[in-house]
């Protein structure tokens, strides 16, 4: 059974040696709302997350909300193991798939078919698993013979179709998304929406960061409000969004 447990997680991004007490250092500290400070080794750092604790279980659909720079994307990247916490503990049970940059890992010199294999392996699929999915992926993209030529010849829309089709062919227990995905023209967009809905519903846990409160209301059953790298509020979607809209 899938689960996520974050306990007092900090994420710091070092900037430079903070030995000197310069005017620049003081201005940076003030301009960041106090989120730029010193570590124990006296190194200047951005405190991206501070004492973040969360627990999610099977069936949870978490909406991550908050103003720009509040730590939403950083939190998702901790959950996907892109960022390692500076302090605290992260416990994750279940396979994880992240849809931050669906075109990440594409080889522009490789063909569409070669990139299906490459991207599938990056998502944790074996070659035999990819082979079973190739026909479905190729059919969904509607790219036809273009799949046999290098993707550097593709338009941005064609590349996005291919990447989206591969990403949504896996079956993760935990799905992480930074904003909802829109793909291609109006006709293909509807086709992609149906596939994405099925993809999301097939996961045990969803964590979705978005600036669209309406989307969060529609998709999620829980919400966390991030503010200056910390959890400001956590609970049912309706009450957290109401609090956010009234106070921010």
Mean pLDDT on 177-198 = 83
234 band by pLDDT with thresholds 50, 70 and 90: very high
End-to-end CA distance of the chain: 36
Cβ-contact 204, 219 below 8 angstroms: no
How many helices and strands in the chain, by DSSP H and E?
8, 10
Which is higher by pLDDT, 183 or 142?
Answer: 142
Q: Name the average pLDDT for the chain.
A: 88
DSSP per-residue codes, 143-207: -GGGGGSBGGGS-HHHHHHHHHHHHTTS--SEEEEES----SSHHHHHHHHHHHHHHHHTSSEEE
Q: Which residues pair with 61 in a beta bridge?
A: 206
Structure tokens at 226: 């991030």
190 band by pLDDT with thresholds 50, 70 and 90: confident
Tell me what pLDDT residue 34 has. 46
Could you report the per-residue pLDDT of 239-248, keeping only the tens digit for each? Answer: 999 999 999 8
- HSE value, Cβ hemisphere, 13 Å, CA-based, for 193: 8
Which is higher by pLDDT, 140 or 192?
Answer: 140
Mean pLDDT on 36-63 = 83
Tell me what pLDDT residue 123 has. 83
Is the pLDDT confidence value at 33 over 50?
Answer: no
Could you report the per-residue pLDDT of 118-165, keeping only the tens digit for each? Answer: 999 988 889 999 999 999 999 999 999 999 999 999 998 899 899 999
Chain centroid to CA 56: 16
The residue whose two tokens read 């790219």 is: 143
Could you report the per-residue pLDDT of 53-105, keeping only the tens digit for each? Answer: 999 999 999 999 999 999 999 999 999 999 999 999 999 999 998 888 777 77
Cβ-contact 90, 6 below 8 angstroms: yes
Tell me what pLDDT residue 46 has. 86
5: Cβ contacts below 8 Å, ≥ 6 apart = 54, 55, 56, 89, 90, 91, 92
Range from 64-78, 99-113, 210-224 carrying the lowest mean pLDDT:
99-113
Which is higher by pLDDT, 36 or 150?
Answer: 150
Cβ-contact 184, 160 below 8 angstroms: yes
Is the pLDDT confidence value at 108 over 90?
Answer: yes
Which is higher by pLDDT, 187 or 216?
Answer: 216
Residues 202 and 94: their CA atoms lie apart, in Å, by 13
């Amino acid at each position: 059974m899938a689960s996520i447990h974050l306990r007092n997680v900090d994420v710091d991004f070092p900037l430079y040696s903070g030995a000197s007490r310069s005017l620049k250092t003081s201005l940076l500290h003030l301009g960041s709302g106090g989120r730029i400070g010193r570590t124990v080794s006296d190194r200047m750092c951005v405190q991206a997350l501070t004492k973040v604790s969360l627990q999610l279980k099977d069936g949870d659909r978490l909406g991550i909300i908050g103003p720009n720079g509040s730590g939403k994307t950083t939190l998702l990247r901790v959950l996907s193991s892109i960022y390692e916490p500076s302090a605290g503990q992260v416990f994750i049970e279940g396979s994880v798939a992240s849809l931050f940059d669906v075109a990440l890992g594409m080889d522009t010199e490789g063909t569409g078919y070669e990139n299906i294999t490459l991207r599938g392996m990056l998502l944790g699929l074996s070659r035999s698993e990819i082979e079973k999915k190739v026909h479905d992926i190729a059919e969904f993209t509607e790219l036809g013979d273009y799949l046999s030529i290098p993707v550097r010849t593709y338009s941005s829309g064609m590349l996005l179709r291919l990447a989206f089709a591969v990403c949504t062919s896996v079956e993760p227990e935990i799905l992480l998304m930074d904003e909802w995905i829109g793909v291609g023209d109006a006709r293909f967009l509807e086709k992609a929406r149906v596939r994405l809905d099925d993809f999301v519903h097939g996961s045990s846990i969803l964590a979705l960061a978005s600036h669209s409160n309406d989307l969060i209301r529609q998709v999620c059953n829980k919400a966390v409000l991030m503010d200056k790298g910390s959890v400001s509020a956590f609970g049912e979607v309706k009450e957290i969004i109401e609090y956010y809209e009234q106070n921010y």
